[in-house]
Amino acid sequence: MKSARAVAHTNIALVKYWGKRDASPADLNLPAVGSLSLTLDRLRSETTVAPAEQDSFHLNQEPASGEVAAKVLRHLDRVWQAAGHAGARPACEVRSHNYLPTAAGLASSASGFAALTLAAAAAFDYDPGRPALSALARRGSGSAARSLWGGFVRLERGVLPDGSDCRAYPLQPQSFWDVRLLIVHTEKGPKAIGSTAGMQRSRDTSPYYGPWVDTSEADLAAAEAALAARDLPVLGDILEHSCFKMHACMMASRPPIVYWRGATLDVIHAVWRLRAEGLRGYVTSDAGPHVKVLCAQDQADELAVRLRAVSGVHAVDVVGPGPDPTVEVSA
Ligand code: PMV
């Protein structure tokens, strides 16, 4: 094997993914719905996979162990198996660094598993093309499948039992539309529940799960058309609808899944108030208390200043569309 380094940027879903397909093996990690995302500039994971005497994983310069390291090593096994090499996987040293807002609770799994998939595939001399690598990244984390491209990306739900058609593809490149996403960090409490367990609970107990799944394709089609037309108010309306539908589905689970804190709602109301004043921001939020706001480039700084003044807001990052991932191989 060789030594390879990959850089992949994180992404935020504008049309959300929540729920796994029924009766699919857990290891395939097949989503019940498609999703549409924006890859972000600056916020990224940089991962190196190199030959070693024994397996190890360092995250942000610190040795990692337990389930965190086990997930990474399991993913190396998947890439090795997909590559079809004979024999056991060689031992690897994996070093990953996340350039994400410090202590933001912003998930690193999207950029992390995308970078790991690309670096491992290159280290193992496996080049099936980005679509197949996107399907492989999905097995580490659903959102990682979308970080195989910059700009605006769609993850297809797919129908094949082996998941080979459940992969992302690029819709529009980084340069297509110079929008901004504000990441509004609010107070944190204990995390309600991890996304995999949360999705399972929603599927098993939420009366809104069926309608959530059934309406997602229409949101995707509408969002894709609004994106192609660079129509911010229409896209904004769809992304808010998708976000509130997902959170309604979560909240109606038993026991309820509530990721929001008081400050989350205060920020949402502030965004709506500011919108009535002409600052056009549109909210979305994931499995945590932070709020992300999509807006035009020329209103981003003003919106950020106004949202920093909301009580309970710790910081606001302003981020634009991000690039494709990169991979470098050394001997
Ligand atoms: O890919 P995961 O397991 O981190 O799940 C992502 C789920 C959401 O962030 C809530 C929505 C999404 O589409 O990213």
CA distance 120 to 10: 18
Cβ contact 28:162 at 8 Å: yes
Cβ contact 164:198 at 8 Å: no
Query: What's the confidence (pLDDT) of residue 105?
Result: 54
pLDDT confidence band for 103 (50 / 70 / 90): very low
Cβ contact 186:314 at 8 Å: yes
CA of 18 to the centre of ligand 1 (A): 7
Pocket of ligand 1 (CB under 6 A): 13, 16-18, 35, 107, 109, 141-143, 195-196, 286-287
Tokens 């929008």 identify what position?
Answer: 179
Answer yes or no: is pLDDT of 331 > 80: no
CA of 62 to the centre of ligand 1 (A): 25
Tokens 């030959």 identify what position?
Answer: 51
Query: What's the confidence (pLDDT) of residue 104?
Result: 52
Atom of ligand 1 nearest to the CA of 246: 10
Query: What's the confidence (pLDDT) of residue 108?
Result: 83
CA of 330 to the centre of ligand 1 (A): 33
CA of 144 to the centre of ligand 1 (A): 9
CA distance 12 to 263: 20
Atom of ligand 1 nearest to the CA of 142: 1
Query: What's the confidence (pLDDT) of residue 304?
Result: 98
pLDDT confidence band for 96 (50 / 70 / 90): very high
CA of 60 to the centre of ligand 1 (A): 22
Query: What's the confidence (pLDDT) of residue 178?
Result: 97
Residue of 220, 242, 286 best suited for mutating to test ligand 1, as the one with most atoms within 8 Å of CB: 286
CA of 199 to the centre of ligand 1 (A): 9
Atom of ligand 1 nearest to the CA of 37: 13
Question: Which tokens hold the place of 11?
Answer: 């992404």
Atom of ligand 1 nearest to the CA of 16: 13
Q: Is the bond preceding 255 in cis, omega lying within 30 degrees of 0?
A: yes
Answer yes or no: is pLDDT of 283 > 90: yes
Cβ contact 106:143 at 8 Å: no
Q: How much of the chain exceeds pLDDT 90, in percent?
A: 92
Closest CA to 250 of 291, 193, 184: 193
Atom of ligand 1 nearest to the CA of 287: 10
Query: What's the confidence (pLDDT) of residue 261?
Result: 94
Q: Give pLDDT tens digits for 40-54.
A: 999 999 999 999 999
CA of 17 to the centre of ligand 1 (A): 6
Residue of 9, 14, 18 best suited for mutating to test ligand 1, as the one with most atoms within 8 Å of CB: 18
If 0-12 CB within 10 Å is exposed, 13-18 middle and 19+ buried, where does residue 244 land? middle
Atom of ligand 1 nearest to the CA of 155: 13
192-203 b/e (C-beta count within 10 Å ≥ 16 → b): bbebeebbbbbb
Q: What are phi and psi of 131, to 5 degrees?
A: -60, -45
Interval 135-155 mean pLDDT = 97
Question: Which tokens hold the place of 114?
Answer: 């995308």
CA distance 301 to 318: 8
User: How many CB atoms neighbour CB 74 within 10 A?
Assistant: 13
Tokens 């769809």 identify what position?
Answer: 238
CA of 162 to the centre of ligand 1 (A): 21
Answer yes or no: is pLDDT of 102 > 70: no
Q: Give pLDDT tens digits for 3-29.
A: 999 999 999 999 999 999 987 788 999
Q: Give pLDDT tens digits for 233-252.
A: 999 999 999 999 999 999 99
